[in-house]
Amino acid sequence: MDIVTVKDKRFRLSIPAQELQQAIRRVAENITEDYAGQQPLFLAVLNGSFMFAADLLRRVELPCEIAFVKLSSYAGTDTTGAVRELIGLNTDIEGRPVIVVEDIVDTGLTMQHLLGLLQARNPKSVDVCTLLFKPEKLKVDLDIRYAALRIPNDFIVGYGLDYDGFGRNLPQIYTIIDETADNQ
Ligand code: 5GP
């Protein structure tokens, strides 16, 4: 299905499942190689990263742990700029190599804030692993070690990413094509 409607907006297929899986496999291989001999703690940022985290972790061949945290500032199709607090980090990260797993880095503000909160807990290291990266939108100086796919500056849904809470279950990534579903 190349066109889908999520709530009141239409989206077209932009990253098919096969391309997603290929990119995820590549990142998993890089992490497996780079972290050889270590036992990283993956911190998956909910809600958006749940599908990516599941597929990524299946392919990482290392002794590792995963924990889920929440830190969200997004409503509808626009960044609010406001950042909420970190919820759910019950694991001690002091002295540990941490890999943050995100769905998408857009302005980078969310990630920058999260990295600040994590650094305060004295981990051994923190690397960022994001499924998607919009380089044109980046507003802050951010070191993104792993970015599976670079995408243009359009609003997307699917594969964990939502539009107003819907569309997360789509197995592929779709890009917005118009403002309303019934204007054509
Ligand atoms: P940032 O702080 O980097 O601007 O925004 C990061 C968060 O915004 C992501 O974790 C994600 O929840 C949301 N976001 C950014 N771009 C998109 C997009 O194109 N589609 C959706 N569904 N969420 C996005």
- Sorted by where each starts, the structural domains of the chain and their CATH numbers stand as 20-176 (3.40.50.2020)
Q: Which residues contact 112 (CB under 8 A, 6 or more apart)?
A: 140, 142
If pLDDT is split at 50, 70 and 90, which confidence band does 78 have? very low
- Write out pLDDT tens, residues 109-153: 889 989 999 999 999 999 999 999 999 999 999 999 999 999 999
Alpha helix (H) residue ranges in 60-164? 109-119
Binned at pLDDT 50, 70 and 90, residue 79 comes out as low
Question: Residues of the chain with pLDDT > 70: what percent?
Answer: 89
Residue nearest to atom 9 of ligand 1 (CA): 104
Q: Which of 120, 118, 147 is nearest to 132 (CA)?
A: 147
Strand boundaries in the chain, DSSP class E: 3-6, 9-15, 41-46, 65-70, 74-75, 78-79, 97-105, 125-133, 146-150, 156-157, 173-176
Determine the residue of 111, 140, 161 to mutate for testing ligand 1's pocket, defined as the one with the most ligand atoms within 8 A of the Cβ atom. 161
Task: Identify how many contiguous H helices and E strands the chain contains and give both numbers.
Answer: 3, 11
